[in-house]
Structure 1
Amino acid sequence: MGEDVKRTTYERVDRQEYRRKVQLCLDVFETMLAQSSFDFDRPLTGMEIECNLVDDDYQPAMANQDVLAAIADPAYQTELGAYNIEFNVPPRALGGHTSVQLEDEVRASLNAAESQANADGAHIVMIGILPTLMPEHLASDWMSQSARYAALNESIFNARGEDIHIDIDGPEPLAMTSADIAPESACTSMQLHLQVSPDDFAANWNAAQVLAGPQLALGANSPFFFGHQLWAETRIELFAQSTDTRPDELITQGVRPRVWFGERWITSIFDLFEENVRYFPSLLPEVSDEDPAAELAADRTPHLAELRLHNGTVYRWNRPVYDVVAGKPHLRVENRVLPAGPTVIDMLANSAFYYGMLRTLSEDDRPVWTKMEFAAAQRNFIESARHGMRAHLYWPGLGTVSTEALVIDELLPMAYAGLDRWGVAAEVRDRLLGVIEGRARAGRNGAEWQVSTVRALEKRGLTRPAALAEMLRRYCGHMHSNEPVHGWEVPE
């Protein structure tokens, strides 16, 4: 859920002091990059999975407080919506048979959480956007009990000065307005973390930006919102619009959005934090008692609270992370591109593809981003969000090709090589990347299965709401089977 805050409203003096502290933190961070010892000797990976709660009729269940109390596990936390929870997977190294152990642990934890949730009449669903979510579900009492979320809602609307406009095209376009950030709660994702050294950060972030399009084409799982079929990964555009602090005039002037792909390749992690401070006013101007310069001078590790809090309100799809664990600082690339679901094995296959590709691309003597305009990576990202497996993507040396051709002929061999460099056991590598190959050849990800199933059910005479609920019922059954989505049956 991010760093919590103590207040929901702020005064002018708070913003002035916060601005000073953020700049001080940035200056200290720059010094640390040049002088400090960061923890990266044993790179760790991490995962966060955001989930939805539904009732026995597969409608949103606004019950996360009761469900979390029943689960009673600190690995599970609140998210923005009262029908959302988040599962934090403990960090670990990538090599050997780690992914097999991770799969067993994640499935066991989610199954135990599901059993506890059932006692409150709820079920846990891993999916990008809950397809049965409708406007009436977000009319009232939709927000989790958290000062952070209340403060974010207040700050975004103070910045905009008007209601949020949601306007998304697609097969069944949707246009609406919202008086709060409730639509953002519909967007649930899987976040992948990789701990890196300061010297290696830029190469890994640039590689992650290149990969964002192919990742999304393979993993799209959010085709419906408020009953409308929109993009294959509607979550991308919905999240961007539902947190936009800019009225139309600022958009016209070219002011950057809070949900941001970026605009250039970088040479240092400092580039990203410096952009955050330069381009984005504070949303949560919470000031800590720490003097980061004094901490550094005393040979202690500053927490840089203001810089970290500010970073958490700039929603890059690949976000830089500074953190302190056991008194030692480290840096991470946080990949926020993928939706949750459909199954644990699908998510682990997505992560294996990502980590394998990242290793190969970041260590290339002539990196792919030196042969590719940044705008081309962004176009791939949007094309993939719109069309999923049907996207046609640009790749240097190939031009514009189908997702299947790009993944099978170009990317999978690199992913295999990257996992070998990580020391992943061959049988684990082959199983996980075999899922990616099967999905690419079948042309079926979560979004494709959802749309095909709803269409088939509507042909049988079901209304759209009934078809969405029945599709979600079948989805949950497949989700618990842990069979990869490309093998799921579609009704005739």
Structure 2
Amino acid sequence: MGNEIPSDHFNFEDLKLFDAQLERETNIMGEWFSQQKFVHEQRMFGYELEAWLIDENTMPAPVNEQFLKMLNHPLVVPELASFNIELNSLPQHLSGNVFSDMQHNLGQIFDLCRKQAQILGSDMLAIGILPTVRETDLSLKNMSNSPRYRALNEQVLRLRQGRPLHINIKGDELLRLQHDDVMLEAAATSFQLHLQVPLSHATRYYNAAIILSGPMVAATGNAPFLFGKRLWEETRIPLFEQAVSVGGHGQRVDVEGDLKRVFFGTGYARNSLMECFQENFEHFPAILPVLFEDPPEKMSHLRLHNGTIWRWNRPLVGFDEQGEPHLRIEHRVISAGPSVVDIVANAALFAGAVKSLIDQQQPPELELLFNHARQNFYRAARLGLLADLHWFDDKQIDAQTLILEQLLPLARSGLERLDINNQDIQYYLDIIEQRVKSRQTGTNWQHRYAASHHYDMQAMTAVYAKLQQSGMPVHEWPV
């Protein structure tokens, strides 16, 4: 989805030809799984961080085209809205000082972006939803100047047969509205982790990422407000699901399709991740039927199609420098922010916990029903650390206790198995522990600050920005 496309208009013939290419590549992909063609585990790890450009009044600053041209950095690219950008990492080996290196590298690129933004009279901010964003900001006039985004909007509305998108989120308050384009998606900004996995354990990694989704959301919430309303602890999750609400094949005009393009998934992987790619082909019509001249072994059509289906845990296919295919799991559940050190701690928590789960002799997916993992995800998104979550052996446990007593020990053990530097393990997991013990996630800090300052979103965002720039982890932020 991240690559540029040559056109933003398509016709029936384009769709027909794209579907034929997609079918061919899906069949080749099936052969690759059967032949075990994917490269072995190299413990490679990376991320994407979506961020906001804001003006001196903390409002969205739609200047990403000028910003990116002046910055001219290969790892910083546009996002859907002209006030959003995305910071990417180079792949790193998941061992040793990877997390302190990650903090150093992310801090450097973060500072570089801030300095460039300041030259334009703006600044950069990482947060799940910008508290000051207005519905009027999320209009086509603020769409990034890119054919792929125009095409995405056109094709989503085509599949909806012109019906507007409906937002209905009930938290402490109720938000109901309808919107005529996909720009509401731009209000939800995430930190997405990429983990390269070996074919032999790919299903275990995928299922472990699903299991961890609820607790990870509870530990990392940073998006409680939208358009001034107090909604979910992680409002970003229902917002994104509803902002691109398109069902699968055979969707009726008057009924929302059962299988949405932003969704938690339909079940654990049973035999291979090929099940997800087959589901993509069978259940989801193409949104961007771009025709490539690449040989089918490049998987250009399959990868583009997969990029327009937003599972919260998404299998990806990539290629190494020798052109050999590899598998990655993209864990998409974490909000952007609050600080660089918090972001790195979130990555360490996930990487360690997922390693422990896949190393267990008894597959943990046999101990937690998929429906319970899905319920955990949405409960944690609604209630954060106060959510009651299902866990192994049919236990039900509040999220705070689960993270402190179950998840952190799993993460510590997994990071030790990955040969992560002991000081890094202690430092980053201590940040998670203090955050969860104090119950001061980014969401909870925003709630507390807003409640004690008359829900002044501009004032809160300005203080949030200063605290983010201080480098302190969020559990140390004063109100």
TM-score (norm 1): 0.94
* Matched residue SS, 2:314: strand
Partner of 1:299: none
Mapped to 2, the partners of 1:100 and 1:246 lie a distance apart of 42
Partner of 2:335: 339
Residues 1:329 and 1:139: Cα distance change in structure 2 (over 3 Å): closer
* Matched residue SS, 1:193: strand
Query: Which residues of 2 match residues 294-333 of structure 1 at below 5 A?
Result: 302-326=297-321, 327-333=323-329
* Matched residue SS, 2:90: strand
Query: Which residues of 2 match residues 186-335 of structure 1 at below 5 A?
Result: 186-246=187-247, 249=252, 255-266=258-269, 267-292=271-296, 302-326=297-321, 327-335=323-331
Mapped to 2, the partners of 1:138 and 1:335 lie a distance apart of 26
Q: How many Å apart are 1:373 and its aligned residue?
A: 1.1
* Matched residue SS, 1:130: coil
Bigger mean CA offset, 19-28 vs 135-144: 135-144
Partner of 2:353: 357
Residues 263 and 375, structure 1, Cα contact 8 Å, conserved in 2: no
Q: Is residue 381 of structure 2 the alignment partner of residue 385 of structure 1? A: yes
> How well do the aligned residues superpose, as a CA RMSD in angstroms?
1.5
* Matched residue SS, 1:233: coil
Residues 246 and 256, structure 2, Cα contact 8 Å, conserved in 1: no
Q: How many Å apart are 1:255 and its aligned residue?
A: 2.7
Mapped to 1, the partners of 2:329 and 2:245 lie a distance apart of 23
Bigger mean CA offset, 39-48 vs 120-129: 39-48
Q: How many Å apart are 1:388 and its aligned residue?
A: 1.2
* Matched residue SS, 1:322: strand
Bigger mean CA offset, 92-101 vs 45-54: 92-101
Q: How many Å apart are 1:250 and its aligned residue?
A: 6.6
Ranges in structure 2 where 5+ consecutive residues have no aligned partner: none
Name the amino acid aligned to 1:125.
L
Partner of 2:416: 420
Name the amino acid aligned to 1:54.
I
Partner of 2:469: 480
Deviations 1:9-55 (A, max 9, x none): 11111111111111110110111123254233422000110000100
Name the amino acid aligned to 2:473.
P
Query: Which residues of 2 match residues 11-50 of structure 1 at below 5 A?
Result: 11-35=11-35, 37-50=37-50
Residues 1:211 and 1:41: Cα distance change in structure 2 (over 3 Å): closer
Name the amino acid aligned to 1:147.
P
Ranges in structure 1 where 5+ consecutive residues have no aligned partner: 293-301, 459-463
Partner of 1:298: none
Residues 303 and 323, structure 1, Cα contact 8 Å, conserved in 2: no
Mapped to 1, the partners of 2:26 and 2:359 lie a distance apart of 28
Name the amino acid aligned to 1:311.
N
Mapped to 1, the partners of 2:462 and 2:19 lie a distance apart of 49
Mapped to 2, the partners of 1:488 and 1:478 lie a distance apart of 7
Mapped to 1, the partners of 2:169 and 2:36 lie a distance apart of 46
Q: How many Å apart are 1:390 and its aligned residue?
A: 1.6
Name the amino acid aligned to 2:419.
G
Mapped to 2, the partners of 1:75 and 1:477 lie a distance apart of 25
Name the amino acid aligned to 1:173.
L
Q: How many Å apart are 1:237 and its aligned residue?
A: 0.3
Q: Is residue 466 of structure 2 the alignment partner of residue 489 of structure 1? A: no
Bigger mean CA offset, 203-212 vs 18-27: 18-27
* Matched residue SS, 1:336: strand
Name the amino acid aligned to 1:128.
G
Among residues 442, 445, 448, which one is paired with 2:441 in the alignment? 445
Runs of 4+ in 1 over 3 A off after TM superposition: 246-254
Q: Is residue 386 of structure 2 the alignment partner of residue 401 of structure 1? A: no
Residues 45 and 92, structure 1, Cα contact 8 Å, conserved in 2: yes
TM-score (norm 2): 0.96
Mapped to 2, the partners of 1:44 and 1:478 lie a distance apart of 31
Partner of 2:364: 368
Mapped to 2, the partners of 1:305 and 1:169 lie a distance apart of 39
Paired residue total: 474
Partner of 2:458: 469
Mapped to 2, the partners of 1:342 and 1:198 lie a distance apart of 34
Mapped to 1, the partners of 2:77 and 2:320 lie a distance apart of 20
Mapped to 2, the partners of 1:324 and 1:69 lie a distance apart of 28
Deviations 1:52-91 (A, max 9, x none): 0100110110011111122221110000000000000111
Residues 1:337 and 1:251: Cα distance change in structure 2 (over 3 Å): farther
Q: How many Å apart are 1:3 and its aligned residue?
A: 2.5
* Matched residue SS, 1:414: helix
Residues 138 and 186, structure 2, Cα contact 8 Å, conserved in 1: no
Partner of 2:82: 82
